[in-house]
Amino acid sequence: MLTCFYQASSFDDRAANDPNPEQRAKSRELFLRMLEFALRCNAHHMTGLPGIEWEGVPHDTSLKRAADELAWRAEQARLVGVVYSVEGAFRVGGAHAGRGQGPD
């Protein structure tokens, strides 16, 4: 089974939970283009990044925005027969908090 993993040039570039609606729209467009790529490659699985903590944005707000956007992405993938997974890493305060490791 072929799996596609995608991310932009950095964790904050096209992050799913960008506080700027215009940037989130660009992120969605990238996601849809990558979903089309996965389909053309006959991939049945796609993995992406969950988003990051944004300076000046409360943790709960960043997390909810990420959850809402990732749910939308999972639904778009499901509609075309692709399983969408999220890499287990959420950028917290500029540090990598993945695989069960969170901030102190």
At CA 17, angle to CA 15 and CA 18, rounded to 5?
Answer: 70
Beta bridge mates, 85 = 47
pTM of the model: 0.79
Q: What is the pLDDT of residues 58-96, one digit of tens each?
A: 999 999 999 999 999 999 999 999 999 998 765 555 544
Q: What is the pLDDT of residue 87?
A: 85
Q: What is the pLDDT of residue 93?
A: 54
Q: What is the pLDDT of residue 5?
A: 76
Q: Cα separation of 88 and 84, whole Å?
A: 13
Six token digits for residue 85 = 């997974």
Element (H, E) at 23: helix 21-40
